[in-house]
Structure 1
Amino acid sequence: MLSDLITSLSANPYFGAGAGLIGIGTALAVFRRTSQYGLIFFRRQFMITLEVPNNDISYSWLLQWISHQLRDSSRHLSARTTLIKNDDPSSRIQASYTFVPSVGTHYFRYQGKFIKVERTREQMINSGVPFESVQLTAFGQDRQIYIDMLEKARDSALLANEGKTLVYIPTINEWRLFGQPRRKRPLNSVILDKGILENLINDVDHFLANPHWYIDRGIPYRRGYLLHGPPGSGKTSAIMALAGHFDLSISTLNLSQGTMTDDRLQQLLSNVPEESIILLEDIDAATVGRHYEKEDAIRFQGMKPLTLSGLLNSLDGVISTEGRIIFMTTNYIDRLDPALIRPGRVDFKQYIGPLTADQTERMLIRFYPHLTRDEMNEFLKQIEQLTDNYSKPLSAAQLQGFFMHNKESIKHVFENIQQLYGS
């Protein structure tokens, strides 16, 4: 039958003139288009797809979780190298390697279903930072399967970061994890003057535990803190310890960057990671209304620098978000504009000053727990004489550095005590 049809068509003058070939081409084109529409219809009706871009917080969680599902089957991997320092000070830094699915297509089985994974990467022209995404495709219409995956990916990531503090820094208008999660800083490792750390803990605890107290009274649910005092007094250390104590991450912002503008600051503060302390260190160096040098003006041409008005609106204006904690630090509170630290923007001000006798004693006990009372009194006496002679108070950072340099024994401490002032 087929041979007769072919013979008949070849003998047909119209077919031989090209009309038949046009018809076959048209039929094939219609068939191809119909197949495409049919495939699209099939995917929409019988398959479900999830895309997760790399600017979503769950992207890294999901990618790491997928790598565990593919650990035995995938042959196309990307390496991620991290450097790890053990708690033992004598140990060397070691490299740890993890593998994630490379750009391309992968498959794994989950809950009895085959899951197709497509990881793509595109080069961004403006920022130069590649845009990546992961697309998951599975048979069915129940999106619960993806919710389960994301929940497991999140739980796995939280378990891996348990007992650690995450630090985020901004990119263009997003946040990304900076380095590796850090071990939580114990509260007892931060030795401030009596009552300071306790007051901070109580205030943060009340804020976190009573959101409805603010809502019922129509007060914006946000809290601002200002820690001020001389360098090395323990301001940043106290914030790190508070973050660890309350299981919060830290999102740190450098307002003195040449690329920081009003719009960028507002965008960053509007999408800070959840359960995170916003840290504005050295707020006096924010260079609000700063003047650029000539080369800076060329480099940042077209950018409007951060203004005081933009900073204030970002902190507590109409566009400011709620449920956030902001810590500011400064060595020079007198340089700050009164509008920046008025109540409502800064609710809790705490001065952290030079080293006191009580701090000195507690630090001495912490570094040399077997110290006798006589040795302690002698050390405190010598410290008092030194500060009187130099008319310059010590900082906690100075004393800690001195103890670390003379950690072998208390004998070295007494022999080298003049080193505290560099002599």
Structure 2
Amino acid sequence: MGLTEVVSGLSDNPYFGAGFGLFGLGAVTAMARKGSQVGMIMFRRHCMTTVEVTCKDKSYNWLLQWITSRGARRTQHLSVDTSFVESDSGKITTKYDFQPSVGIHLMNYQNVWIRVERTREQRMMDPWETIQLTTLGNHKALFASMLEEAREMVMAEHRGKTVMYTVLGTEWRQFGLPRQRRPIESVVLDANVSRDLVQDVREFLDSSDWYRQRGIPYRRGYLLHGPPGCGKSSFISALAGELEFSIAVLNLSDRSMSDDRLNYRLADAPTNSIILLEDIDAAFVNRETNPQLEAAYQGLNRVTFSGLLNAIDGVTSSEGRVIFMTTNYLDRLDPALIRPGRVDLKQYIGHCSESQLLEMFDRFYPDAKAGQAAEFAHSVASENVDVSAAQVQGYFMFFKNDPNLALSNAWRLTRSTQ
């Protein structure tokens, strides 16, 4: 019997024509579709391995960099990530990193083919991204090896460098390219200031058990204050390199920053990082001495003063945290902000002393004749003029390779500050 005869017979059947046949076909079709869906689910569950990594996970950026350089490096569907860095000297460095774009890519890792799907959707203010890795068979160990290799690759790139982080939207993001670590000896501070600060931070990092045994919150705050250009920010950068830490910069003037967001950002700051609040006096004023100025500042920031205090040492504040604040004007800070528990150590970093001038000359001109450094330091210090480390360094730049000219023209340095 042919297909035409079957169709003709069905059309002549009174039950089929009454709708029972159409209902039956629909039921069979629905069951077949449902069966195929269940079968696909069972196949994926037992015969496939899928790993999803979201942009909130620490390993997301590691995996994306690894896929770019080693995994799907031959893909022709790319998106660009541009890094733009301007150094203090004005030199601009631009780097273009191409990454697999949103969509599906295929790659081979350890002789196993892996389907890579990168997706992006808009949620609230920031895009939400995921990377989904799928392969046939049970390959949990394969993906664990891949993530570890991605971590090691990124860590190798950052080894010997200091990574800067800033808050972008609702999360910490790396800012610019990793910088070469600055030797702690390159920042010349007065007397034993540098040594004492480094020793204090190291002692804190090694004393977690001591804090917990005594029920003391395990966190420490530092305030560096003094005139501009004297080495506050430079020391923090060098300290991060000495400790092999990163620096997480918080901008309290950011209009997208609120009390809740500040609390979350302090809680999920990158591990092994120094949290830096620069020019804290520019964000809040002393309520006792400047009540009118405080009223003028209200509304400019979404972060309130009480919100900042609670984020630093409130009941929800995180532990194991090192915070550095800097200011040029100590008298403008509210006493509640710099009380013990929020600021545990205050350190003044001022204009260059004679010993600083001598050490800076020696470091800048290691081949200078004996006695020239002392003569230069005494010549500048005898003028009783305040000079900052930045001014001295800028002066030395005019005579990069000639200590004799730097010594004979020392009067120019003191005259330029008057």
- Match of residue 32 from structure 2: 31
Question: Once the 2 structures are TM-superposed, how far is the Cα of residue 284 of structure 1 from its aligned partner?
Answer: 1.6
One-letter amino acid matched to 2:391: Q
- Match of residue 290 from structure 2: none
- Give the distance between the partners of 1:313 and 1:101, measured in 2 at CA: 42
- Match of residue 106 from structure 1: 105
* Preserved CA contact (<8 Å) 1:255 1:287: no
Partner residue of 2:224 out of 216, 224, 227: 227
- Match of residue 395 from structure 2: 402
- Match of residue 52 from structure 2: 51
- Match of residue 348 from structure 1: 345
- Give the distance between the partners of 2:211 and 2:144, measured in 1 at CA: 32
* Preserved CA contact (<8 Å) 1:69 1:108: no
* Preserved CA contact (<8 Å) 2:189 2:231: yes
Range 16-25 or range 243-252, more displaced: 16-25
- Match of residue 260 from structure 2: 263
* Preserved CA contact (<8 Å) 1:193 1:359: yes
One-letter amino acid matched to 2:324: F
* Preserved CA contact (<8 Å) 2:365 2:401: no
- Give the distance between the partners of 1:73 and 1:380, measured in 2 at CA: 60
- Give the distance between the partners of 2:51 and 2:356, measured in 1 at CA: 55
- Match of residue 415 from structure 1: 409
User: Which digits, 9 at most, give the CA deviation of each residue in 1:214-261, with x for residues without a partner?
Assistant: 222222211111111111111111111110111100101122334432
> Which sections of structure 1, spanning at least 5 residues, go unmatched?
none
- Match of residue 187 from structure 2: 190
User: Which digits, 9 at most, give the CA deviation of each residue in 1:352-388, with x for residues without a partner?
Assistant: 11101111011111112222234334423431343x3
User: Which digits, 9 at most, give the CA deviation of each residue in 1:153-197, with x for residues without a partner?
Assistant: 111110111111011101233111111111111111111112111
Partner residue of 1:331 out of 296, 319, 328: 328
- Give the distance between the partners of 1:420 and 1:405, measured in 2 at CA: 15
Question: Once the 2 structures are TM-superposed, how far is the Cα of residue 24 of structure 1 from its aligned partner?
Answer: 3.0
1:115 equivalenced with 2:114 (yes/no)? yes
Question: Once the 2 structures are TM-superposed, how far is the Cα of residue 49 of structure 1 from its aligned partner?
Answer: 2.3
TM-score, with structure 1 as normaliser: 0.87
- Match of residue 127 from structure 2: 130
- Give the distance between the partners of 1:274 and 1:138, measured in 2 at CA: 32
Q: Secondary structure at the match of 1:260?
A: coil
Question: Once the 2 structures are TM-superposed, how far is the Cα of residue 54 of structure 1 from its aligned partner?
Answer: 1.7
Question: Once the 2 structures are TM-superposed, how far is the Cα of residue 416 of structure 1 from its aligned partner?
Answer: 6.7
Q: Secondary structure at the match of 2:390?
A: helix
* Preserved CA contact (<8 Å) 2:380 2:410: no
One-letter amino acid matched to 1:53: T
- How many matched pairs? 407
Q: 1:318 to 1:150 in 2, by over 3 A?
A: same
1:244 equivalenced with 2:241 (yes/no)? yes
- Match of residue 358 from structure 1: 355
- Give the distance between the partners of 1:133 and 1:149, measured in 2 at CA: 17
TM-score, with structure 2 as normaliser: 0.87
One-letter amino acid matched to 2:221: G
Partner residue of 2:201 out of 199, 204, 225: 204
Partner residue of 2:213 out of 202, 216, 220: 216
> Which sections of structure 2, spanning at least 5 residues, go unmatched?
288-293
- Match of residue 382 from structure 1: 379
Q: Secondary structure at the match of 1:322?
A: coil
1:79 equivalenced with 2:80 (yes/no)? yes
User: Which digits, 9 at most, give the CA deviation of each residue in 1:117-174, with x for residues without a partner?
Assistant: 11011134x42x3221111123345644333222221111101111110111012331
